[in-house]
Amino acid sequence: MLTIWGRKNSSNVMPVLWAADELGLTYDHKMVGGSFGGLDTAAFKAMNPNQRVPVLQDGDFVLFESNAIVRHLARSAGQGSLLPDGLQAQAHADQWLDWHKTTLTLPMIDLFWGTVRCEPEQRNPDLIAKAKAATDKALAILDDHLAGRDFMVMDRLTLADIPLGALVYRYYQLQIEHQDFQNLTAWYARLQDRPAYQKNVMIPFGTTLAEWNELERALV
C-alpha cells in the first residue's frame, strides 16, 4: 500500500495527491507538516532528512522531492496517461518540471509568503512588487508556450501539467492584479474541469495568515 505524507494545503503535496488520483491509485494519506507537526520525529527524519513534505512510502521504498515523486508515479503507473509518449516528449516534460522548480516556484514563494502567509502589518510592498513582476515574467513564458496547445507537452494531461497547475491555482487565488494571460487561463479552465484537480488543488487558503491557519485546521 502506498502512503503519501504531507498536509493537503502544501503546493508540493498537491501535485502528488493529484497525480495519484488521476492514476486511480489506492493510497493512505497522512496529514503531517505545518500545524499538524510530525516532521521532527526520528521516523520521519529517517524518511526525509530535510523534514519536508511530501514523502512517498511504498513498503521499504521511500522517496522525497515532489517532482521526483510525480515522475515516479507517472513512470510506474502512467503509461498512456500521465507519462508522455516517447523519449522526446518525456524530455520536454522533464524540462518543464525543472522550469517549475527553478523559475516559477521561487518568485511564487515570495509572492505567496509576502501576502497570505505574513502578518498584514509586516507586508513589504517592494518585495511583493518584485515577486509579482518575476512571477508574471515567468507566466508570460508559460502563456506563450500554451498558445495553440491544450496541455503542456501532449494533447492530453501529463505529468508536465501537474506541478505547474498546482502553482497556477495559487496565482489566480491571490488578491493581486492578474495579467491577461489568455492561453494560460484557457489551460487553467481545462484543469479546473478535472475532479482530481478540484479535490486536491482547489483548496481555499484565504487572504491572510489568520485565515490560512484557520483553513488549515479545518482540513482534517
Ligand X SMILES: N[C@@H](CCC(=O)N[C@@H](CS)C(=O)NCC(=O)O)C(=O)O
Query: Among residues 39 and 184, whose Cβ is nearest to ligand X?
Result: 39
Contact flag: residue 158 with ligand X (CB under 6 A): no
Q: How far apart are alpha carbons 3 and 27 in whole angstroms?
A: 5
Query: Among residues 154 and 203, whose Cβ is nearest to ligand X?
Result: 203
Query: Among residues 48 and 90, whose Cβ is nearest to ligand X?
Result: 48
Query: Among residues 54 and 78, whose Cβ is nearest to ligand X?
Result: 54
Stretch that binds ligand X, among 22-30, 49-57, 80-88, 164-172 (CB under 6 A): 49-57
Q: How far apart are alpha carbons 108 and 114 in whole angstroms?
A: 9
Contact flag: residue 165 with ligand X (CB under 6 A): no
Cell of 91: 524530455
Q: How far apart are alpha carbons 165 and 133 in whole angstroms?
A: 19
Bond prior to 54 in cis (omega within 30° of 0): yes
Stretch that binds ligand X, among 31-39, 92-100, 177-185, 197-205 (CB under 6 A): 31-39
Contact flag: residue 53 with ligand X (CB under 6 A): yes
Interior angle at CA 89, CA 83 and CA 93, nearest 5: 70
Query: Among residues 10 and 158, whose Cβ is nearest to ligand X?
Result: 10
Q: How far apart are alpha carbons 201 and 8 in whole angstroms?
A: 8
- The CB-of-118 to ligand X minimum distance in angstroms stands at 16
Packing angle between helix 182-192 and helix 125-145, nearest 10 degrees?
A: 80
Cα–Cα nearest to 38, from 1, 15, 7, 2: 7
Contact flag: residue 66 with ligand X (CB under 6 A): yes
Contact flag: residue 48 with ligand X (CB under 6 A): no
Chain residues in the site for ligand X (CB under 6 A): 7, 10-12, 33-34, 39, 52-54, 65-66
